[in-house]
Protein backbone atom coordinates (compact mmCIF):
# COMPACT_ATOMS: atom_id res chain seq x y z
CA UNK A 1 0.00 0.00 0.00
CA UNK A 2 2.72 2.58 0.82
CA UNK A 3 4.47 1.77 -2.46
CA UNK A 4 1.19 2.37 -4.35
CA UNK A 5 0.78 5.77 -2.73
CA UNK A 6 4.36 6.61 -3.53
CA UNK A 7 3.75 5.75 -7.18
CA UNK A 8 0.71 8.05 -7.26
CA UNK A 9 2.63 10.87 -5.69
CA UNK A 10 5.40 10.38 -8.24
CA UNK A 11 2.96 10.69 -11.14
CA UNK A 12 1.43 13.82 -9.62
CA UNK A 13 4.85 15.38 -9.13
CA UNK A 14 5.90 14.53 -12.68
CA UNK A 15 2.83 16.24 -14.14
CA UNK A 16 2.96 19.33 -11.96
CA UNK A 17 5.96 21.03 -13.62
CA UNK A 18 4.40 20.45 -17.03
CA UNK A 19 1.10 22.09 -16.01
CA UNK A 20 2.97 24.95 -14.39
CA UNK A 21 4.98 25.41 -17.58
CA UNK A 22 1.78 25.69 -19.65
CA UNK A 23 0.43 28.37 -17.32
CA UNK A 24 3.63 30.39 -17.54
CA UNK A 25 3.62 30.11 -21.34
CA UNK A 26 0.02 31.31 -21.54
CA UNK A 27 0.87 34.32 -19.38
CA UNK A 28 3.86 35.18 -21.57
CA UNK A 29 1.72 34.98 -24.72
CA UNK A 30 -0.93 37.25 -23.21
CA UNK A 31 1.72 39.76 -22.12
CA UNK A 32 3.21 39.71 -25.63
CA UNK A 33 -0.15 40.23 -27.32
CA UNK A 34 -0.99 43.12 -25.00
CA UNK A 35 2.29 45.02 -25.00
CA UNK A 36 3.47 44.69 -28.62
CA UNK A 37 0.61 46.85 -30.00
CA UNK A 38 1.30 49.41 -27.26
CA UNK A 39 4.98 49.52 -28.20
CA UNK A 40 4.08 49.98 -31.87
CA UNK A 41 1.64 52.76 -30.96
CA UNK A 42 4.14 54.58 -28.75
CA UNK A 43 6.80 54.33 -31.48
CA UNK A 44 4.53 56.18 -33.90
CA UNK A 45 5.55 59.77 -34.69
CA UNK A 46 3.61 62.41 -32.74
CA UNK A 47 2.04 63.69 -35.93
CA UNK A 48 0.16 60.42 -36.40
CA UNK A 49 -0.37 59.49 -32.77
CA UNK A 50 -3.84 60.94 -32.22
CA UNK A 51 -7.35 59.58 -31.95
CA UNK A 52 -9.32 60.71 -34.98
CA UNK A 53 -12.98 60.26 -35.86
CA UNK A 54 -14.36 60.13 -39.39
CA UNK A 55 -17.53 61.79 -40.69
CA UNK A 56 -19.19 58.41 -40.15
CA UNK A 57 -18.24 58.42 -36.46
CA UNK A 58 -15.62 55.68 -36.82
CA UNK A 59 -12.16 55.69 -35.25
CA UNK A 60 -9.27 56.25 -37.63
CA UNK A 61 -5.67 55.26 -36.85
CA UNK A 62 -3.06 57.29 -38.73
CA UNK A 63 -0.22 55.22 -37.26
CA UNK A 64 -1.24 52.36 -39.54
CA UNK A 65 -0.29 54.53 -42.52
CA UNK A 66 2.96 56.12 -41.31
CA UNK A 67 5.01 54.42 -44.05
CA UNK A 68 2.98 56.10 -46.81
CA UNK A 69 3.09 59.67 -48.05
CA UNK A 70 0.01 61.44 -46.71
CA UNK A 71 -1.83 64.45 -48.08
CA UNK A 72 -3.58 66.41 -45.32
CA UNK A 73 -6.10 68.86 -46.77
CA UNK A 74 -8.58 71.18 -45.05
CA UNK A 75 -11.80 71.11 -47.03
CA UNK A 76 -15.02 73.08 -47.39
CA UNK A 77 -18.16 72.29 -49.36
CA UNK A 78 -18.95 75.84 -50.54
CA UNK A 79 -15.54 77.08 -51.66
CA UNK A 80 -14.22 78.12 -55.05
CA UNK A 81 -11.60 75.38 -54.69
CA UNK A 82 -14.07 72.63 -53.76
CA UNK A 83 -13.65 71.07 -57.22
CA UNK A 84 -10.19 69.96 -56.06
CA UNK A 85 -12.02 67.06 -54.39
CA UNK A 86 -12.05 65.50 -57.85
CA UNK A 87 -8.27 65.63 -58.29
CA UNK A 88 -7.62 64.46 -54.72
CA UNK A 89 -9.97 61.51 -55.13
CA UNK A 90 -8.32 60.59 -58.43
CA UNK A 91 -4.89 60.52 -56.79
CA UNK A 92 -6.22 58.43 -53.92
CA UNK A 93 -8.12 55.91 -56.05
CA UNK A 94 -5.13 55.35 -58.34
CA UNK A 95 -2.58 54.99 -55.52
CA UNK A 96 -4.50 53.90 -52.40
CA UNK A 97 -2.02 51.09 -51.64
CA UNK A 98 0.86 53.56 -51.42
CA UNK A 99 -0.78 56.93 -50.71
CA UNK A 100 -3.23 58.28 -48.14
CA UNK A 101 -5.36 61.39 -48.53
CA UNK A 102 -7.05 62.70 -45.39
CA UNK A 103 -9.63 65.46 -45.50
CA UNK A 104 -10.35 67.77 -42.55
CA UNK A 105 -13.61 69.65 -43.10
CA UNK A 106 -13.46 73.04 -41.45
CA UNK A 107 -15.63 76.12 -41.14
CA UNK A 108 -12.69 78.40 -40.28
CA UNK A 109 -13.36 80.36 -43.46
CA UNK A 110 -17.16 80.20 -43.18
CA UNK A 111 -17.69 77.95 -46.18
CA UNK A 112 -18.52 74.56 -44.66
CA UNK A 113 -21.85 72.90 -44.04
CA UNK A 114 -23.19 72.59 -40.49
CA UNK A 115 -23.15 68.87 -39.72
CA UNK A 116 -20.90 65.89 -40.45
CA UNK A 117 -23.87 64.16 -42.10
CA UNK A 118 -24.40 67.05 -44.51
CA UNK A 119 -20.69 67.13 -45.35
CA UNK A 120 -20.59 63.36 -45.85
CA UNK A 121 -23.58 63.43 -48.20
CA UNK A 122 -22.17 66.34 -50.19
CA UNK A 123 -18.75 64.70 -50.65
CA UNK A 124 -20.23 61.35 -51.60
CA UNK A 125 -22.99 62.55 -53.91
CA UNK A 126 -21.14 65.41 -55.60
CA UNK A 127 -17.57 64.11 -55.91
CA UNK A 128 -17.83 60.40 -54.98
CA UNK A 129 -15.16 60.92 -52.31
CA UNK A 130 -13.79 57.67 -50.91
CA UNK A 131 -10.67 58.89 -49.13
CA UNK A 132 -11.01 59.29 -45.35
CA UNK A 133 -12.77 62.45 -44.23
CA UNK A 134 -12.51 63.38 -40.56
CA UNK A 135 -15.18 64.98 -38.40
CA UNK A 136 -15.46 68.76 -38.81
CA UNK A 137 -12.91 70.68 -36.76
CA UNK A 138 -10.79 73.81 -36.74
CA UNK A 139 -7.42 73.84 -38.53
CA UNK A 140 -6.10 77.27 -37.52
CA UNK A 141 -5.42 79.13 -34.29
CA UNK A 142 -5.75 77.95 -30.71
CA UNK A 143 -8.72 75.71 -31.53
CA UNK A 144 -6.91 73.84 -34.31
CA UNK A 145 -7.08 70.06 -34.07
CA UNK A 146 -3.90 68.26 -32.89
CA UNK A 147 -2.79 67.29 -36.42
CA UNK A 148 -2.83 70.88 -37.65
CA UNK A 149 -1.17 72.17 -34.50
CA UNK A 150 1.78 69.87 -35.17
CA UNK A 151 1.83 70.72 -38.87
CA UNK A 152 2.08 74.39 -37.89
CA UNK A 153 4.83 73.68 -35.34
CA UNK A 154 6.91 71.84 -37.93
CA UNK A 155 6.35 74.05 -40.96
CA UNK A 156 5.51 77.46 -39.52
CA UNK A 157 2.52 77.50 -41.86
CA UNK A 158 -1.21 77.24 -41.25
CA UNK A 159 -3.94 77.12 -43.89
CA UNK A 160 -4.71 80.61 -45.17
CA UNK A 161 -7.75 79.29 -47.01
CA UNK A 162 -9.55 76.04 -47.78
CA UNK A 163 -7.75 73.27 -49.64
CA UNK A 164 -4.27 74.01 -48.33
CA UNK A 165 -2.33 70.81 -48.87
CA UNK A 166 0.34 69.42 -46.53
CA UNK A 167 2.22 66.62 -48.28
CA UNK A 168 3.91 64.58 -45.55
CA UNK A 169 6.67 62.18 -46.56
CA UNK A 170 6.71 58.63 -45.12
CA UNK A 171 7.40 58.66 -41.37
CA UNK A 172 7.00 62.46 -41.44
CA UNK A 173 10.61 62.94 -42.55
CA UNK A 174 9.66 65.97 -44.63
CA UNK A 175 6.58 68.16 -45.07
CA UNK A 176 5.80 70.14 -48.21
CA UNK A 177 3.10 72.81 -48.14
CA UNK A 178 0.98 73.84 -51.10
CA UNK A 179 -1.53 76.71 -51.08
CA UNK A 180 -5.08 76.46 -52.33
CA UNK A 181 -4.08 77.78 -55.75
CA UNK A 182 -1.88 74.75 -56.45
CA UNK A 183 -4.07 71.96 -57.82
CA UNK A 184 -3.40 68.37 -56.74
CA UNK A 185 -3.21 67.58 -60.46
CA UNK A 186 -0.65 70.28 -61.24
CA UNK A 187 2.92 69.50 -62.30
CA UNK A 188 4.20 71.38 -59.25
CA UNK A 189 2.31 69.10 -56.88
CA UNK A 190 2.82 65.83 -58.77
CA UNK A 191 6.56 66.39 -59.24
CA UNK A 192 6.89 66.55 -55.45
CA UNK A 193 4.62 63.57 -54.81
CA UNK A 194 5.91 61.09 -57.40
CA UNK A 195 9.31 60.34 -55.79
CA UNK A 196 7.48 59.20 -52.63
CA UNK A 197 5.23 56.91 -54.64
CA UNK A 198 8.18 55.29 -56.42
CA UNK A 199 10.05 54.36 -53.23
Q: How far apart are CA 117 and CA 187, in angstroms?
A: 34
- CA torsion 14-17-18-22 (nearest 10°) is 160
How does DSSP assign 29-49, residue by residue?
A: HHHHHHHHHHHHHHTS-TTT-
Spatial contact of 109 and 161, defined as CB atoms under 8 Å apart:
yes
123 is catalytic: no
Q: Which residues pair with 75 in a beta bridge?
A: 105
Which residues form the catalytic set? Answer: 79
Amino acid sequence: MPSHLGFGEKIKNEHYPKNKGHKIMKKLILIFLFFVPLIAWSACDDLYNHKLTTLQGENFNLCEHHEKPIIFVNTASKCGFTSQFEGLEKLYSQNKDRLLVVGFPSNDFNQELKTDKEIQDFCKLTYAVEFPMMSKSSVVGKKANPIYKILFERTGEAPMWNFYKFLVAPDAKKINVFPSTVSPESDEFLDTLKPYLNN
